[in-house]
């Protein structure tokens, strides 16, 4: 028997007659049985195509719990389980994902250039800590001006709380978040409100507890090492089954959950020397799916290589991914704002590198990196702004700090407004991290809920070693419930004036970005930068409209004169205005030479093409 469209996908699926189709990749097994809770007799699978095992049966029903047994060994959950209602060590649950009553038929994915992304950790976003808690805030996000919500990973992890990257069942939706159907309901509601939805997926490693994949097949290889141990096996012996596993996973999120885009975690940690790199194959599969369904999907890479090959087109020899996170904009922005230069931040000099990031996206595109002790990166051949996602903070840059401090704890309100302006002025796709729009003071710390006592001890000791030279104190206990609870958003703060003003400021920035073509248009040549230290002047152009952003990163008044920018310049926004919590009022009109004494820690936006927004 051969595997084809009639044998279903990996794991358990159901045909139109209600029969369960079970497909398991276990290339080294000699026998495979399916055990259903409540049924005494196990069911035997038959071997197909050498490496796979298959069974079609009416006995297994949606909602049933089941296990696999290989060669008489102990029972194991399904590696392609769609549901783990009793956690990572419990039985798998059969689900019929195509039963959800979708009402988003009129939804059309937005162009990437229109994405304004809001990154969310489902557990920390609301008091409920689940998908419904996020669903209740969709109107708030819509009013903020967000156009795309990015969910941090939702793959089943140990316990009820995890910061997101210890998932061990890539096909199963975290039970404490509400499971598969509540996730489908969330995506459906987002689409009905005009919001795109991105899912963060992790194809470079699995978490340390509940990872049963190695007991089924060579999912990992010691041919390469990663920060998490053995690499996922994308090019060694038996790699075909591994590649199919993760490709089917991506397809599931698009087909059965209607996600608009996938954010691919740390693709630089995926090692693949195959003739067709797994990222290219993923792009090819996604293109074929889009052609078949007529729906649009995007692939977004997290990449730390400054290698444009990942977003170069297939025709140009690239992998064809649609866009990538670019950390160097964040690093340069952080140093420009006066934050400490430690670790990889030591490679950045602030304003000069920020100016380069505005122009070229990559700061290091072939130059020598002192931190890496080598020449690093390659210049981007095309300057389309939608190829890059920028931010002033995200889950990594906050959560990887020892205390998890947000920018609201590290910088003054004035400087926070400068950073917000810098991101939303950029000719790239902007991303906000949940809560930054109202200056959430709570940290976002690293938290876990592992059941293995020794693993918890190892994580605690590892965090202590990592930060032994920081601050003279120990990091928060990642296993403590308080660490997780301290990381939740405080929505009641929105009633306080300081936070209301910051929220209104973000809303206006986003409104301006959407309204003015010079800000909406993400063509690289439309952006130029002038450095008048400590002031950075960013000019965005589209046809006859020019918008000028003036960013003062110092705590001093700075006089500037820009005689080559003639004409009358009308104020769009000034962060120093009283309306946003400032103590000054930027002039409504600047004439001719654009002469002005720029307030300390301020962002101002002027245009030569005035239209009421």
Using the predicted structure, report yes or no on whether residue 524 has a pLDDT greater than 90: no
Same domain assignment for residues 382 and 489: yes
Residue at 104 is within a domain: no
Same domain assignment for residues 506 and 530: no
**Structure-model confidence comparison of residues 428 and 584, the more confident one:** 428
- Please give the pLDDT value at position 613: 42
Same domain assignment for residues 409 and 544: no
Identify whether the C-beta of residue 506 lies closer than 8 Å to the C-beta of residue 494.
Answer: no
Give the pLDDT band (50/70/90) at residue 383.
Answer: low
Among 510, 540, 564, the domain boundary falls at 510
Residue at 517 is within a domain: no
DSSP line for 495-506: GSHHHHHHHHHH
Identify whether the C-beta of residue 402 lies closer than 8 Å to the C-beta of residue 475.
Answer: yes
* Distance (Å) of CA 209 to CA 75, 134, 199, 459: 17, 27, 22, 12
CA end-to-end span of the chain:
64
- Please give the pLDDT value at position 474: 83
Active-site position among 33, 235, 265, 437: 265
Same domain assignment for residues 501 and 588: no
CA-wise closest residue to 160 among 175, 138, 181: 175
- Please give the pLDDT value at position 470: 62
The pLDDT tens digits for 90-108 are 999 999 999 999 999 999 9
Task: Determine if residue 327 is labeled as part of a ligand binding site.
Answer: yes
Residue at 316 is within a domain: yes
Identify whether the C-beta of residue 433 lies closer than 8 Å to the C-beta of residue 394.
Answer: yes
Same domain assignment for residues 126 and 153: yes
Those residues whose C-beta lies under 8 Å from the C-beta of residue 137, and which sit 6 or more positions away, are 125, 126
Among 455, 487, 510, the domain boundary falls at 510
pTM value is 0.97
Same domain assignment for residues 506 and 529: no
Q: Respond yes or no on whether the N-terminal peptide bond of residue 534 is cis (omega within 30° of 0).
A: yes
Same domain assignment for residues 574 and 600: yes
Using the predicted structure, report yes or no on whether residue 292 has a pLDDT greater than 80: yes
The pLDDT tens digits for 526-566 are 799 999 999 999 999 998 899 999 999 999 999 998 877 77
Using the predicted structure, report yes or no on whether residue 593 has a pLDDT greater than 80: no
Task: Determine if residue 264 is labeled as part of a ligand binding site.
Answer: yes
Same domain assignment for residues 42 and 155: no
Section 326-331 average pLDDT: 96
Annotated active-site residue 469? The verdict is no
The pLDDT tens digits for 216-237 are 999 999 999 998 999 999 999 9
Section 427-441 average pLDDT: 98
The pLDDT tens digits for 106-145 are 999 999 999 999 999 999 999 999 999 999 999 999 999 9
The pLDDT tens digits for 150-192 are 999 999 999 999 998 999 999 999 999 999 999 999 999 999 9
What is the helix, strand, coil percentage profile of the chain, to 5? 30, 20, 45
Section 208-212 average pLDDT: 97
Using the predicted structure, report yes or no on whether residue 471 has a pLDDT greater than 80: no
Identify whether the C-beta of residue 411 lies closer than 8 Å to the C-beta of residue 337.
Answer: yes
Task: Determine if residue 395 is labeled as part of a ligand binding site.
Answer: yes
- Please give the pLDDT value at position 538: 96
- Residues paired with residue 384 on neighbouring β-strands, in sequence order: 523
Total Cβ atoms within 10 A of residue 280: 20
Among 42, 76, 110, the domain boundary falls at 76
Active-site position among 235, 302, 436, 577: 302
Task: Determine if residue 265 is labeled as part of a ligand binding site.
Answer: yes
State the residue range of the domain holding 546: 524-607
C-alpha 583/C-alpha 310 separation (Å) is: 45
Task: Determine if residue 564 is labeled as part of a ligand binding site.
Answer: no
Residue at 234 is within a domain: no
CA-wise closest residue to 589 among 605, 567, 568: 568
Task: Determine if residue 396 is labeled as part of a ligand binding site.
Answer: yes
Task: Determine if residue 267 is labeled as part of a ligand binding site.
Answer: yes
Same domain assignment for residues 545 and 583: yes
Using the predicted structure, report yes or no on whether residue 499 has a pLDDT greater than 70: yes
Domain of 59, CATH number, reads: 2.60.40.10
Helix residue spans in 308-384 (DSSP H): 327-336, 351-360
- Please give the pLDDT value at position 586: 85
Sign of CA dihedral 23, 26, 32, 35: negative
Give the pLDDT band (50/70/90) at residue 381.
Answer: confident
Residue at 11 is within a domain: yes
Same domain assignment for residues 326 and 358: yes
- Please give the pLDDT value at position 472: 61
Helix residue spans in 406-563 (DSSP H): 407-410, 413-425, 453-466, 481-485, 497-515, 517-520
Distance of CA 434 to the CA centre of its chain: 12
Same domain assignment for residues 441 and 581: no
Total Cβ atoms within 10 A of residue 210: 24
**Structure-model confidence comparison of residues 197 and 342, the more confident one:** 197
* Distance (Å) of CA 315 to CA 224, 318, 319, 320, 384: 29, 7, 9, 9, 17
Same domain assignment for residues 505 and 540: no
Average pLDDT, the chain: 94
Residue-wise over 322-360: b if at least 16 C-beta within 10 A, else e?
A: bbbbbbbbbbbbbbbbbbeeeeeeebbebbebbbbbbbb
Residue at 82 is within a domain: no
Residue at 421 is within a domain: yes
C-alpha 57/C-alpha 19 separation (Å) is: 5
Section 480-507 average pLDDT: 97
Annotated active-site residue 99? The verdict is no
Domain of 540, CATH number, reads: 2.60.40.1180
- Please give the pLDDT value at position 58: 97
Task: Determine if residue 329 is labeled as part of a ligand binding site.
Answer: yes
Strands (DSSP E) found in 15-113 = 20-25, 32-36, 43-44, 46-48, 52-57, 65-70, 92-93
Give the pLDDT band (50/70/90) at residue 612.
Answer: very low
Please state the domain count of the chain: 3
Those residues whose C-beta lies under 8 Å from the C-beta of residue 398, and which sit 6 or more positions away, are 404, 405, 406, 433, 443, 444
The strand pair at 148-151 and 196-201 is best described as: parallel
Residue at 241 is within a domain: no
C-alpha 78/C-alpha 66 separation (Å) is: 8
């Amino acid at each position: 028997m051969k595997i084809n469209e009639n044998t279903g996908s990996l794991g358990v699926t159901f045909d139109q007659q209600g029969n369960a189709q079970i497909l398991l990749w276990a290339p080294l097994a000699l026998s495979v049985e399916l055990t259903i809770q409540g049924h005494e007799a196990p069911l035997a699978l038959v071997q197909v195509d050498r490496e796979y095992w298959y069974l079609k049966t009416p006995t297994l029903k949606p909602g049933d719990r089941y296990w696999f047994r290989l060669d008489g060994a102990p029972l194991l959950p399904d590696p392609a389980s769609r549901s783990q209602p009793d956690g990572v060590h419990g039985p798998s649950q059969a689900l019929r994902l195509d039963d959800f009553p979708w009402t988003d038929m009129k939804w059309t994915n937005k162009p990437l250039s229109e994405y304004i992304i809001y990154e969310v950790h489902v557990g920390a976003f609301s008091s409920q800590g689940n998908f419904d808690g996020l669903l209740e805030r969709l109107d708030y996000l819509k009013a903020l001006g967000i156009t795309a919500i990015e969910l941090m990973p939702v793959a089943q992890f140990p316990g009820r709380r995890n910061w997101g990257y210890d998932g061990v069942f890539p096909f199963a939706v975290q039970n404490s978040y509400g499971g598969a159907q509540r996730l489908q309901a969330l995506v459906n509601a987002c689409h009905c409100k005009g919001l795109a939805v991105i899912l963060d997926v992790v194809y470079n490693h699995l978490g340390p507890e509940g990872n049963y994949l190695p007991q089924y097949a060579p999912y990992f290889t010691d041919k390469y090492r990663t920060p998490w141990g053995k690499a996922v096996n994308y090019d060694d012996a038996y790699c075909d089954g591994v590649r199919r596993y993760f490709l089917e996973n991506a397809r599931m999120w698009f087909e059965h959950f209607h996600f608009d885009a996938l954010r691919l975690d740390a693709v630089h940690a995926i090692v693949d020397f195959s003739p067709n790199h797994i990222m290219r194959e993923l792009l090819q599969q996604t293109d074929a799916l889009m052609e078949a369904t007529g729906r649009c999907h995007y692939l977004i890479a997290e990449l730390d290589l400054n290698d444009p090959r990942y977003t170069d087109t297939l025709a140009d020899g690239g992998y064809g991914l649609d866009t990538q996170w670019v950390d160097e904009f964040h690093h340069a922005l952080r140093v420009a704002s006066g934050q400490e230069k430690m670790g990889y931040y030591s490679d950045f000099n602030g304003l000069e590198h920020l100016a380069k990031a505005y122009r070229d996206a990559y700061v290091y595109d072939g130059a020598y990196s002192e931190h890496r002790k080598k020449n690093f990166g390659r210049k981007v051949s095309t300057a389309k702004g939608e190829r890059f996602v920028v931010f002033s903070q995200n889950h990594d840059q906050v959560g990887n700090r020892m205390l998890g401090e947000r920018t609201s704890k590290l910088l003054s309100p004035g400087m926070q407004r400068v950073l917000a302006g810098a991101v939303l002025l950029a000719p790239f796709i902007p991303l906000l991290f949940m809560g930054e729009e109202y200056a959430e003071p709570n940290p976002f710390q690293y938290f876990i809920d592992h059941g293995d006592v020794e693993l918890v001890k190892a994580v605690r000791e590892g965090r202590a070693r990592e930060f032994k030279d920081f601050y003279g104190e120990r990091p928060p206990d990642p296993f403590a419930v308080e660490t997780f609870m301290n990381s939740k958003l405080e929505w009641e703060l929105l009633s306080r004036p300081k936070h209301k003003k910051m929220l209104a400021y973000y809303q206006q920035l986003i409104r301006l970005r959407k309204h003015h073509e010079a800000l909406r248009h993400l063509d690289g040549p439309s952006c130029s930068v002038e450095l008048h230290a400590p002031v950075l002047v960013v000019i965005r152009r589209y046809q006859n409209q020019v918008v000028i952003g003036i960013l003062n990163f110092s705590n001093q008044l700075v006089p500037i004169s820009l005689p080559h920018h003639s004409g009358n310049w009308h104020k769009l926004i000034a962060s120093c205005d009283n309306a946003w919590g400032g103590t000054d009022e930027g002039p409504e009109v600047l004439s001719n030479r654009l002469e002005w004494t720029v307030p300390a820690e301020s962002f101002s936006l002027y245009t030569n093409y005035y239209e009421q927004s």
